[in-house]
């Protein structure tokens, strides 16, 4: 291995240790997997009295909130400022993405960063629409619905289901991207999200 490769983007920057994802990012990621799956499944197939769906939704809300805060105060790879890039960098990355070699990004790549921000935004929108929705069944009323007009509670209700479909598509896209990196680019993105470390 040449020196150039050794100090490339795949290697941990000096001073950061060899930890790619800190424990907070990892715990929040897998907690979101569980909470989102629970909220989604209970919403679609759960009982008509949706108490558990509500709890799952509150959990998602807490995770999104913590992740956004961590995006400002967390370590380097967790911070929005370190991974959100302009259109030039996004296009440049997207152009070389089909190449059959590992990206060796230390942290979110510029295209992945778009997904991170996008999914946090849509999740926040989904939480908000759920909190404001009133399905007029007197048992599954969003806790904030009473503070807004009936027009807004209906708009929120009308938004909640299409957003759930959008989120499902985003999750499938996310998993497909990981499969693409694994199979096509020969890069394992799952292990670092579990152990925090990236094999050199």
Token readout for 84 is 């959100």
Residue 18 touching another protein (CB under 8 A): no
60-89 binders of another protein (CB under 8 A): none
Is residue 160 at the binding interface for another protein, with CB under 8 A as the rule? yes
Least separation in angstroms between residue 158's CB and another protein is 4
Q: How far apart are CA 183 and CA 167, in angstroms?
A: 24
- Distance, in Å, from the CA atom of 146 to the CA atom of 82, rounded to the nearest integer, reads 40
**Which residue in the set 69, 99, 158, 169 belongs to the binding site for another protein (CB under 8 A)?**
158
Helices (H), the chain: 3-6, 23-45, 51-73, 80-83, 87-96, 110-132, 150-183, 190-195
If you count them, how many residues does the chain have?
200
Find the binder of another protein among 155, 174, 185, 197 (CB under 8 A).
155
Q: Binding residue for another protein (CB under 8 A) from 120, 157, 163, 167?
A: 157
What is the rounded distance in angstroms from the CA atom of residue 183 to the CA atom of residue 100?
9
Pick the binder of another protein from 19, 82, 104, 140 (CB under 8 A): 140
**Site map (CB under 8 A) of another protein, residues 19-48, x = contact:** ----------------------------xx
Taking the C-alpha atoms of residue 91 and residue 15, their distance in angstroms, rounded to an integer, is 29
Residues that bind another protein (CB under 8 A): 47-50, 135-140, 154-155, 157-158, 160-161
């Amino acid at each position: 291995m040449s020196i150039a490769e050794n100090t490339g983007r795949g290697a941990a920057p000096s001073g950061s240790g060899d930890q790619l994802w800190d424990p907070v990012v990892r715990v929040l990621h897998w907690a979101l997997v569980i909470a989102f799956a629970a909220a989604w499944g209970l919403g679609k197939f759960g009982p008509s009295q949706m108490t558990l769906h509500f709890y799952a939704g509150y959990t998602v809300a807490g995770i999104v909130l913590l992740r956004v805060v961590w995006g400002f105060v967390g370590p380097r790879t967790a911070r929005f400022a370190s991974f959100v890039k302009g259109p030039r960098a996004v296009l440049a990355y997207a152009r070389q993405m089909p190449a059959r070699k590992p990206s060796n990004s230390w942290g979110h790549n510029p295209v992945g960063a778009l997904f991170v921000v996008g999914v946090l935004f849509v999740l926040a929108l989904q939480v908000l629409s759920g909190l404001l929705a009133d399905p007029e069944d007197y048992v599954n009323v969003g806790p904030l619905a009473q503070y807004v007009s009936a027009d807004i509670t209906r708009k929120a209700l009308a938004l909640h289901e299409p957003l759930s479909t959008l989120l499902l598509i985003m999750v499938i896209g996310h998993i497909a991207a990981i499969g693409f990196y694994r199979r096509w680019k020969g890069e394992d993105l799952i292990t670092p999200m579990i152990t925090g470390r990236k094999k050199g």
